[in-house]
């Protein structure tokens, strides 16, 4: 434990800024070491800083490199999560400092964070590394693309972080969380059965806030967006399902195929080229698939029917206007859109 752990914090007070899930973007920073500023030009060095708390007692601080991944760790986390408490808030700043130790025994008290306020908003953030006598001041910047990236990084980080923490929890803690999340999931299921999809979504999202790895709530959320025809919104829950269990692979490939057929459906039915589908699945889910695997999934989709609702050309073909992507996967003659709509809901029930 660092000596600063012994100092009393201002943890009985709540910060004036909502830090439940606070995110800050910067494209420029100044490093100050031993009281002297370095001369480095850091303009364009995008960083994302995230502060999160569930009780305003303990704050978790993470920093992301928005430009590139870490050369050693292979991820984009510039500073791994540090737990902190609020020491003080003034009219111009909120001061946090680390406490406790990480799993390797290193003290979080070596780190601190200052949120600089101006007209009720945060316009600068300082990271303090007390053991090295270093302060780094980050200036606020705005960019919609970088904001989306930070949101995606934060979502991934929260999901992976919860998976790690859940594994180390006691059985009583796990049971308490499971009971709370199941209550909302059950309310969502009842709303879904009563065709109140908006209420169902609201409850499934509440269930996932409590337990982001609740696979029942994830698949139920995907069902809701499928029912609404908002297929792109199913990407996040399906992606998380695959990360929880790679056995969901066939379900995701089948869903992606049917989604493309529905979105391209016209008077002649639906069609998608192998290259388009394969590239989509790789980009969205990081799943590498191929023509043979997709054709085997098409055969599984066709099994419940007394005819093939989806077809493909054995041995390839001329592409039928699909460019260089190969012979397309298509709906068969006479297969109407509602059949594909029903089937895309059915594949979510695959084991």
Confidence class for position 167, pLDDT limits 50, 70, 90: confident
- Here the CATH number for the domain that contains residue 229 is 1.25.40.10
Whether residue 166 lies inside any domain: the answer is no
The token pair that represents 44 in the structure block: 């364009």
Q: Do 204 and 291 lie in a common domain?
A: yes
Give bridge partners of residue 111 from the DSSP assignment. 129
Task: List the domain range (segments joined by +) for residue 231.
Answer: 171-349
pLDDT tens-digit readout, 278-330: 999 999 998 999 999 999 999 999 999 989 999 987 544 434 444 444 689 99
Pick from 253, 339, 341, 238: nearest CA to 295: 253
Predicted model pTM? 0.59
DSSP 111: E
Q: Do 152 and 178 lie in a common domain?
A: no
Count of structural domains within the chain = 2
Alpha-carbon distances of 252 from 36, 138, 265, 280, rounded to whole Å: 54, 40, 20, 11
- Here the CATH number for the domain that contains residue 87 is 2.40.128
Q: Do 189 and 331 lie in a common domain?
A: yes
Confidence class for position 80, pLDDT limits 50, 70, 90: confident
Whether residue 161 lies inside any domain: the answer is no
**Residue 318 burial (10 A CB sphere; 0-12, 13-18, 19+):** exposed
The domain boundary, picked from 156, 190, 224, lies at 156
- pLDDT averaged over the chain? 88
pLDDT tens-digit readout, 21-76: 899 999 999 999 999 998 889 999 999 999 988 778 889 999 999 987 655 444 57
- To 10 degrees, the CA torsion angle through 303, 309, 314, 320? -160
Whether residue 12 lies inside any domain: the answer is no
Report the C-alpha gap between 242 and 126 in whole angstroms: 37
Q: Do 143 and 251 lie in a common domain?
A: no
Q: Do 86 and 230 lie in a common domain?
A: no
Is-contact 316 267, C-beta < 8 A?
no
């Amino acid at each position: 434990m660092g000596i600063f752990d012994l100092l009393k914090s201002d943890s009985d007070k709540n910060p004036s800024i909502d830090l439940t899930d606070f995110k800050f973007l910067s494209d420029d920073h100044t490093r100050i070491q031993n009281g002297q500023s370095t001369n480095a030009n850091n303009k364009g060095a995008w960083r994302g800083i995230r502060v999160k708390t569930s009780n305003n007692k303990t704050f978790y601080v993470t920093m992301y490199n928005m430009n590139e991944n870490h050369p050693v760790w292979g991820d984009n986390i510039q500073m791994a999560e540090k737990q902190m408490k609020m020491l003080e808030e003034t009219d111009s700043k909120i001061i946090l400092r680390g406490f406790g130790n990480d799993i390797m025994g290193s003290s979080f008290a070596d780190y601190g964070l200052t949120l600089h306020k101006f007209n009720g908003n945060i316009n600068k953030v300082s990271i303090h590394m007390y053991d090295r006598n270093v302060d780094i001041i980050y200036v606020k910047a705005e960019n919609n693309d970088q904001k989306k990236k930070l949101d995606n990084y934060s979502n991934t980080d929260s999901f992976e972080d919860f998976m790690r923490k859940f594994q180390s929890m006691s059985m009583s803690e796990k049971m308490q969380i499971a009971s709370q999340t199941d209550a909302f999931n059950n309310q969502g299921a009842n709303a879904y059965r009563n065709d109140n999809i908006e209420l169902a979504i609201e409850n499934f999202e509440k269930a996932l806030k409590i337990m982001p790895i609740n696979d029942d709530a994830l698949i139920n959320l995907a069902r809701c967006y499928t029912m609404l025809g908002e297929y792109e919104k199913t990407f996040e829950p399906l992606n998380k399902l695959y990360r929880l269990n790679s056995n969901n692979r066939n379900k995701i490939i089948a869903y992606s195929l049917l989604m493309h057929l529905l979105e391209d459906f016209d008077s002649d039915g639906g069609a998608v080229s192998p290259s388009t589908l394969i590239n989509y699945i790789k980009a969205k889910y990081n799943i590498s698939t191929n023509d043979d695997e997709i054709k085997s999934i098409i055969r599984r989709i066709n099994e419940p029917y007394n005819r093939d609702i989806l077809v493909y050309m054995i041995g390839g073909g001329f592409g039928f206007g699909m460019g260089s992507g190969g012979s397309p996967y298509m709906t068969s003659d006479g297969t109407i859109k509602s059949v594909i709509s029903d089937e895309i809901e059915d594949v979510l029930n695959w084991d």
